[in-house]
Structure 1
Amino acid sequence: MNTMIGTESNTKVGSRPSGRMAAYWAVTLILAFSIALSGIGQLMRYGGNVELVTNIGFPLYVTNILGAWKLLGVIAIVMPGFPRLKEWAYSGIFFLMTGAALSHAFAHDYGDYGFHVILPLFYAALAMASWALRPKSRRL
């Protein structure tokens, strides 16, 4: 009886991805896509990225720094291996996003309906969810 349960468990895990793995990849791909688009927008100074940074008093060159770090963080999270680098990338994205939310809040630049504060906090939550759901192969 125990052999049967163990066999079913192994077959179930080995034959198809678990719900946790599917959730990890769904959250991680949404996070990666969002942060990558944001980083590219900052590097290209596309759309409202110039105003977003300068309205809170940061110099324009900050877009180059933030954009580059965002893209490097996304690469680190998505690529296989390098679990310690992934830890740093997750923490970097978390600090970057919470720092953005706080910067906008302290500058009283909330955006429409608090968008400039809520969106970065949503990305920080996605980073925390991706980190928490990551499989053992992506952990230290």
Structure 2
Amino acid sequence: MNTTTRSSRPVVVAYWIATAIVTAELAVGGVWDIARLAYVRDIVTGLGYPTYLLVLLGVWKILGAAALLVPRFPLVKEWAYAGSFFVYTGALASHLTTGYGPAEVPVLTVMTVLTAASWYLRPASRTLRRRPARLTVAASP
């Protein structure tokens, strides 16, 4: 996709909608995780995970939300997108494997898709610049 296509108004609007939803869920979910709300704690223990995992996930979710919103720092954004993708797909796998909380699966699927959409639609200023491929010479036998 070229930069003129990426910067068209509908693409920018779609990017910000997807990013706003993902960052809001990460931030609110992070706070809920750190607070160990009963609802969240019940889900995590129902899936077989220890509750201390909530504090770890919560802190990383809040940091990830901040990283996606602040300008610059494209490498940090890549890590935040990867972390978000791992959180949502990991939760999906956990729910599907255990069969616990099947109502969460559609929400997690949407969040995974929105994370991927935000990453794909992000403006060029928020991407890592590609390095030119290195020319390698194979050693001859």
* TM-score tier after normalising by the smaller chain length: 0.7 to 0.9
Q: State the identity as a percent.
A: 39
Pair 1:132 & 2:120 matched: yes
CA contact (8 A) 1:102 1:117 kept: no
Kindly state the Cα deviation for residue 116 of structure 1 after the two structures are TM-superposed: 2.0
Gaps (5+ residues) in structure 1? 1-8
Structure with greater helix percent: 1
Which runs of 5 or more residues in structure 2 are unaligned? 129-141
**Equivalent position of 1:55 in the other structure:** 46
RMSD of equivalent CA atoms: 1.6
Query: Taking structure 1 as the reference length, what is the TM-score of the superposition?
Result: 0.82
1:32-88 deviations in Å (ceiling 9; x for gaps): 111211111111112411101001111110110111111111111111000011111
Amino acid at match of 2:9: S
Q: Which position in structure 1 is the counterpart of 2:71?
A: 80
What does 1:4-43 correspond to in 2, within 5 Å? Answer: 18-43=9-34
Equivalent-residue separation in structure 2 for 1:38 and 1:69 (angstroms): 10
Could you tell me which amino acid in structure 2 is paired with residue 29 of structure 1? A
**1 CA distance for matches of 2:103 and 2:25?**
15
Task: Tell me the amino acid that sits aligned with residue 94 of structure 2.
Answer: S
Equivalent residue pairs, number: 123
Contact 1:42 1:67 in 2 (8 A): yes
Structure 2 length normalisation: TM-score?
A: 0.82
